[in-house]
A and B are shown apart, each in its own frame.
Chain A
Amino acid sequence: MVHAFLALLICQLAGEALTRAAGLPVPGPVAGMLLMLALIRLSARMRDLLRPVAETILAHLSLLFVPAGVGVMGHMTTLGSQTMAIAAAIVGSTVLAIAAGALTFVLVARLTGSGDD
């Protein structure tokens, strides 16, 4: 478990270093994810090591957003008179974006014959 966590942290650290050094517009952890992907493709041992820890963390991924969510609550008042406009923009755009993304995916999958197994 310690080794798996160490591997996660090292990939994140390498990702942070890489994105900063190269000035990439992606966050360090996302670059770290790609590094980890390369690592577990190469090593079955790494894969087995990572699996239990990764599955535990990802099963409770929602929990990790709670502190940031509480921070948002404190700023709700700063939205002030524009609360309605923001609520409409957020809800409207999120509904439209999910619908557009999913419908496009299904349509292109059908056109290119790349259905799921």
Chain B
Amino acid sequence: MTSLADFWSYLSEGPLVWLTATLLAYAIGDACFRGSGRVPLVNPVLVAVALLAGLLFVTRTDYPTYFEGAKFVHFLLGPATVALALPLYDNLGRLRRALLPVLAALLAGSLTAALSALAIARAFGVGDTLLASLAPKSATAPVAIGIAERIGGSPTLTAVLVILTGITGAVVATPLLNLLRIRDWRARGFALGVASHGIGTARAFQVNRTAGAFAGLGMAMNALATAILAPAILPLFL
């Protein structure tokens, strides 16, 4: 028993255990997703996060220790964003033909995301710091955090709100867009990327390549749009 405890304390010092656990949890999440017949609610990220949170709780592991292993996966977000250039390239012709719909949808999606989030939160009597953290939540995390800091929000809280927004979008997009009878993959992907950044884009790639390319574009464009719109909109609600 002591040797097992020793082995555990030796392992938990290094990144191996939590890197392995992260990939394993995702593999399980992905298997659940496929096994469920691709039900959006059985989102692989959601399943993996729930499993890992449970595991961290049971083993009394703090987040910095976990992140020592998980950071290798987290780091790949940057190169993955750069890699979005490829589907974008493959869809350049499509994109040129859809310039006006893209710009209109960006404006509509970005404004609706910030305005409706602030209006709903305000109706619940939420305080100013939380409102400022909420305003940029549809933008990709580094941008949203930068904006929130500038307009009086909390970086940590913003990171939480950004991730929650991403997961929500990934889960609701398919049933919502089916309900609205929108069959255009460009529209479906783009709207999801604008509203739910990278997590929405990851979801779009699970469904359709064109949707994925347009989602990546939506995410990139909304990073810029939110940086301009969120600081302008927030004062209306303070």
Query: Residues of A at under 8 Å CB distance from B?
Result: 5, 8-9, 11-12, 15, 25-30, 32-37, 39-41, 47, 50-51, 53-55, 57-76, 78-79, 82, 84-86, 88-109, 112, 114-117
Contacts and interface: CB of A to CB of B under 8 A. Distances in A.
B238 interface: no
Nearest to B114: A93
A63 B161 CA distance: 19
Contacts, number: 339
Contact of B79 (A9, A26, A37, A70): A9
B207 to A, nearest CB: 12
A41 B91 CA distance: 12
Contacts of A114: 97-101
Interface of B: 22-23, 25-26, 30, 43-46, 48-50, 52-53, 56, 63, 66-67, 70-71, 73-74, 76-89, 92, 94, 97-102, 104-114, 116-118, 120-121, 124-126, 130, 134, 137-138, 140-143, 146-147, 156-157, 159-161, 163-169, 172-173, 176-177, 180, 182, 184-188, 190-192, 194-196, 198-199, 201-203, 205-206, 210, 212, 216, 218, 220, 223-224, 227-228
22 contacts: A30-B143, A36-B85, A41-B92, A61-B202, A62-B206, A65-B77, A65-B166, A66-B48, A73-B50, A74-B53, A84-B124, A88-B120, A90-B161, A93-B112, A93-B165, A94-B196, A97-B138, A98-B195, A100-B112, A102-B187, A105-B101, A114-B101
A32 B81 contact: yes
A112 B220 contact: no
Contacts of A75: 156-157, 159-160
B21 to A, nearest CB: 10
Contact of A58 (B140, B141, B205, B227): B205
B85 A37 contact: yes
Contacts of A8: 79, 82-83
DSSP class of A's interface residues: helix, strand, loop or mixed? helix
Interface of B is mostly: helix
Contact of B173 (A40, A93, A98): A98
A33 B45 contact: no
Contacts of B220: 26, 30, 33-34
B81 A89 contact: no
